[in-house]
Structure 1
């Protein structure tokens, strides 16, 4: 029983009795020095319990006052038990000696073999039975000698006391073992419940992570579809613009190819100019006294394109006009005014609407589409669109050039028709 109790207060690391016992979250108990050394022998901030392998950190190590008191009580009981055992062993040895000594006597007479007298005394010094003559001998004269009856009462009393003490101790040890066994059982049950709870929590965590993974994937797929849809819409717009640009390019090229036979090249110039007999002159208005020049030919169908070099002029107007009775009336024009900037005017509208021209053109392209009733103006230097407008085709139209105001010689450069 003492061995069982000793096992209960023994550290499983050092296999010795607990010294400064501490408790882990799994409720296993170790010496503080043993479990701290076990923790520090690892590579990280945590370690596994030597009993159940449950992970713990240094902050999880708790001093258990109840365990310490129980260990101290168990040690005290073991110490008393050891002392009592030694006392019982000594008494048993003494009784055994007396028993052997008695057997040396004549069992029938129970007399002293030396004096043939009845053994009626007990020498505590020699721990043997003696007779009255032995008591008077010099051998036992100074020894502590008592009558057998007195010694018997004392020994029986000691034995009964020892028996009661052992009975009480055994009862207490049985209770302690029972409590410790129940505690071990409870620890195992709590450990099992904790393990099940941990498994449940980790399963819930795994389910949450799986749900979150699906949510993130769905969100990514949704964003991908939205981004692709926007990109496809932009691509459709760009493709439409490209088709429109190609159509305009083809129409301009067609107009250029159609009217090639109407141009004449000068030997010393890269420009194409209209012959003098193909140009009509008239005064534009009394207001600015500038001239209006129109081409001799007029058109009611097809596509036609002209390029006019405006250079660094400060005031000019280029567009198409209505031909009627050898007179030309302005219909749709693009104008640069030294006072109001670039504007597109229609049908005698002197104000017109402003046009945002970021790069000043040196050449202006005029594209007349009779089929669409539309006039387009381009920066012929880089073929960017300046603006568009509709016109009326009840009568034939032709190209009109307005050199602009003289401005005291600052706007004296001519307008040169490069392509017609």
Structure 2
């Protein structure tokens, strides 16, 4: 520890080397004479120096101590040289030890003992005192390296943490890719299975209709074959009779002619005894027909398929406590109830072809009721949903206003524009078109509510409803607008 303190006390704080011709300034600090004459103030206490500093006497005590330290370093270096020679010898013999060569400043050829924090580069003593580094902050190399090493270790730790996070994201993304592929395969299998069911149904019905037609063909051909056999038998008899009569006519001798006629009494050819058979025979015709299947086969097959397809569209029934809305007797149609609304004697005119008719008795209401939708002026489905996937279709026709979906998440059509409604807030949509039938698809597991043009399944909009509070019901709303008295109707297939 004493030798270390002695070495530090004999080091010039300017050149960071053992004193060479040391002098002691009036302030009490000691430096190499050359270092003291190159500065205008004490490097340690910043006390001003005069020109007399160059004539200061040499500090003999410091000089002697510095020489002793220098001799000790020389001996140490000689010992190090010996070690270096041994290392070189080991290298020649196949060793891998390499002697360390200190880096020198490329500009001043001095040892690089400092690190400039401002420029972030190594520097020598002369570099520190030069104009290029004026006002810059320096640290000894070891201290700067230790500080930078600590920062770098922190940086590496941050990078490792980020790597772990990114690896986790990559693994999650790979899992999502795998899930998507598996889901795609599952859906492909499901699609193949469902189409196979439809193919089997259509193939079975095709075979049944073909067999029915074949049976009708066989029955008709059998009847016509019997008729043809009778016609051909009669024709053969008549031809035979004609041949015999012609052969008799060819006899020119009167005696022989009469004798031949007498012998052939069975040939009754006189007009009085001949009975024509053509009028007794009749051509049988069979007109093959499949009835309406002949012209509307695909339509009837579609209707039959609706009865076997699973799952089918939800057959929702409506309910409403509103005084301005009315539900039909069968629960399928929702009417607005204008003041003094006309009596609807033929409710079937409000429904698409093929739907069951329903009766509607309009009510008298306050003429000042609001035309916009209210929190109570709506209808909901009797059926409630808690899980699974559900789809229903609503015939909106040419109404100028309607709302469909769930109560807090719905699609609104108002004056040729579409809006997405979420908790009494509306957002306009870019969808164009005028569907007559709207399809609504609710996926409870993925929390998605989608709307489609039900005739071509063109996508209109998808929202993510809050399904925290279950169960939920389908939502319907309309408002009265003259002269449109038509309802909206849930499609039942």
TM-score when normalising by structure 1: 0.32
- More strand by proportion, 1 or 2? 1
Bigger radius of gyration, 1 or 2? 1
Return the TM-score normalized by structure 2: 0.27
**Which of 1 and 2 has higher RCO (CA within 8 Å, sep 6+)?**
1
